[in-house]
Amino acid sequence: MNRLLLLPLIFCLAVKSASAQFTLDPLKKAESIEVTLISEESSIAPGKAFRVAAKVVHQPKFHTYGKVLSEDTGIITVIKWKLPEGWKAEDLAWPATFDVPSTDGKMTKGYNGTVYLPIKITPPATLAIGTKVNLEAIWTGAVCDDQSCKPVKLPFSLELPVGATPVKNVDAGKLFDAPASAATPPPTDGILKLILFGFLGGLILNIMPCVFPVLGIKITSVVHQAGSDKKVIFMHGLIYTLGVLASFWLLCGIFQGLKAAGSNVGWGFQLQYPPFVFIIVLILVIFSLNMAGLFEIGTSVVGVGGELQHKSGYLGSFFSGLLATVVATPCAAPLLANALPVALALPLLPSLAFFTVIGLGLASPYLILSSFPALLRLLPRPGPWMESFKQGMAYPMLGASAFFIWVLMGLTSEDSQRDLLIGLVIIAFALWIYGRWCLPHMPKSVQTKSLLITLAIFAFGSYWAWPQAKEENWREWSPELVKSMHAEKKPVYVDFTARWCATCQVNHRVYKDKALMEEFKRHGITMLKADWTNPDDRISTALTELQRAAVPVNVLYIPGRTEPLILPSNLTVENVRAALVELDKAP
């Protein structure tokens, strides 16, 4: 039975039992610049390091930026290398930027004309002699004139033969005659300025939409602690700060590790991975429902972040620091536009110092309050208002949840987006059961049964909502494309569907079967999706020709046959596989 059909049954059984229970637009070419790859060697040797350079040729009146910005505007240039396994890349100093016309009528620092951006590459010693290797990279940045800028992503590559000894590339001239040097950091005075920007940026993050809901949790915690021991208050401040710093240190370590492995990563890269963003969504939704009063985490239960408001809840303070850093990521980039590129480009220790300063800026308000308990007198006294405040803060938290849900939807397939929303509803239902029956005054048997049912439904909802990668099998349907491919005697499968069609959504589960998808590939079938969510006269006409008035309609066009094969309305793996067998009978 399909999971969608189980929902009403699960809902009823659970209630009855409890009462007894995660860019720049890629442009294939840019007329304003041209990027090619030049090597100092025309033939490379195993284990022998060599240098290559991205040759960037700007058309007149156009300019780009360097790997580090010296002004408040612009987009840094990044070259992401896609090297074969076992190869290593080492940053080299790029040419100094110079004055170029900016979009505001002033001058800015960047590149124009022809510029060479070098890097040192070391192939593995096991590289086979007599073969050829293809070095690939992507240039990403902003191409500007004196009026406007546009984001550009340009791939480029170079094929090199492998010999027993390296051969000098005479065509490169004197470009690589200067000895290779490590990338140089910006001047000291510039670093001090950017450190200040990092601290201020971290401080301002506290009032940004991403972080403010977490700050609301800490405000109520501070008020609760107003009458507590000064040492306890101070320890909460230190542990919250440690949670913030631990997150930034972890990010710094990940950045440095990926950079050492030859990857070019930017701030917020973790939000490019659907499982990570889903976990953030899950945490924020749980916090939101808890603050809204749907359920309470008792002192004897270990919940998400522990007992956030209890004076001995040090784990809660640490977790709040972690969460504040994670949700700050989307807001940090614009606030720290200058500091972050430097922090990502520097070696380990200076980069670690940058991240530490940003973290201290984020944690400083709570750290100051906990260090000087007399300041707590400026805050309102504990009282009934706190419960209203806590419930009110649930809505900014839900707003942050909605933002991260939107981020996650951009990373996943259309079916996965639907499952995410359904799964979150199931999870909320599980938490309602917990809040309704896992109460201290309930009999122990009811509490135990409710907790078990809560955990089971929570796990089921998480499984349901777990993100799936975007579908790459489908192409957009058009009658012209179907006619053309059928004329070329190529098999075509068309799914006439719509978002509002519940049966269609059930049918889509069939396409998750890996063995079935392998059969589609083996037959060389082109899969087309005709989405009728919005009115489309072409789809209406096609359905009429198929003598169908509504979706779902699934059709297989078999080479050599005039009429398409129409599959049953309710798909199963078996009846789809039976339809594919007809391809083997085609003339």
pLDDT digits (tens, 9 = 90+) for 94-140: 888 888 877 666 778 888 888 999 999 999 888 888 888 989 998 98
Structure tokens at 464: 């349901």
- What is the distance between the alpha carbons of residues 318 and 321, in angstroms, rounded to a whole number? 5
Element (H, E) at 424: helix 414-437
Of the ranges 29-33, 158-162, 195-199, 557-561, which one carries the lowest mean pLDDT score?
29-33
SS3 80: strand
The predicted pLDDT at position 89 comes to 85
Mean pLDDT of the chain: 80
Contacts 24+ apart (CB under 8 A), 537-544: 538/478, 538/479, 539/477, 539/496, 541/479, 542/479, 542/496, 543/496
pLDDT digits (tens, 9 = 90+) for 99-111: 887 766 677 888 8
Residue 178: strand, helix, or coil: coil
284 vs 569: CA distance, rounded Å:
39
Compute CA distances 514 → 157, 518, 520, 578, whole Å.
34, 6, 10, 16
- Cα angle for residues 278, 21, 506 (degrees, 5° grid): 50
Instruction: Give the span between the Cα atoms of 340 and 360, in whole angstroms.
Output: 15
Take residue 42 and report the two structure tokens written for it.
Answer: 């025309």
CB atoms within 10 A of CB 18: 23
Residue whose C-alpha is closest to residue 109's, from 76, 57, 71: 71
Q: Which residue has the higher pLDDT, 364 or 470?
A: 364
Beta strands in 445-546 (DSSP E): 474-476, 492-497, 526-531
With beta carbons less than 8 A apart as the criterion, state whether 465 and 429 touch.
Answer: no
416 residue type, one letter = S
pLDDT at 302: 31
Shortest CA distance to 222 belongs to which of 297, 326, 313? 313
In 422-558, which ranges are E strands?
A: 474-476, 492-497, 526-531, 553-557
pTM score, two decimals?
0.57
Domain boundaries, given as residue ranges, for the chain: 33-172, 188-411, 414-470, 474-584
Q: Which residues pair with 179 in a beta bridge?
A: none
CA distance 280 to 253: 20
Cα 310 to Cα 263, 372, 415, 581: the distances in Å are: 43, 20, 41, 65
Q: For the chain, give percent helix, strand, coil, nearest 5.
A: 50, 20, 35
Query: 58 forms bridges with which residues in the sheet?
Result: 33
Residue-wise pLDDT for 522-551, tens only, equals: 999 999 999 999 999 999 999 999 999 899
Q: pLDDT tier at 307 (50, 70, 90 boundaries)?
A: very low
Q: Give dist(CA 336, CA 340) in Å, integer.
A: 6
Spatial CA neighbour of 557 closest among 515, 519, 528, 577: 528
| Confidence band of 342 (pLDDT split at 50, 70, 90) | low
* Tens of pLDDT, residues 192-208: 766 777 788 788 877 77
Residues 6+ apart with CB under 8 A from 232: 225, 311, 312
Confidence band for 185, pLDDT divided at 50, 70 and 90: very low
Please list the residues that pair with 152 across neighbouring strands: 141
Name which of 266, 393, 259, 243 is nearest 330 in CA terms: 266
Q: Is the dihedral of CA 99, 101, 105, 108 positive or negative?
A: negative
State pLDDT tens for residues 266-303: 566 677 788 988 988 998 898 889 888 898 764 333 33
Beta strands 565-566 and 492-497, pairing class? unpaired
**Which amino acid type is present at position 405?**
I
Q: The domain 33-172 is classified under which CATH number: 3.30.565.10, 2.60.40.10, 3.40.50.10310, 2.120.10.30?
A: 2.60.40.10
Distance, CA of 282 to chain centre: 15
CATH topology for the 474-584 domain: Glutaredoxin (3.40.30)
- Give the model's confidence band at 18: pLDDT under 50 very low, under 70 low, under 90 confident, else very high: very low
Q: Cα(153)–Cα(265) distance, rounded to whole angstroms?
A: 15
Q: Which pLDDT does position 210 carry in this prediction?
A: 65
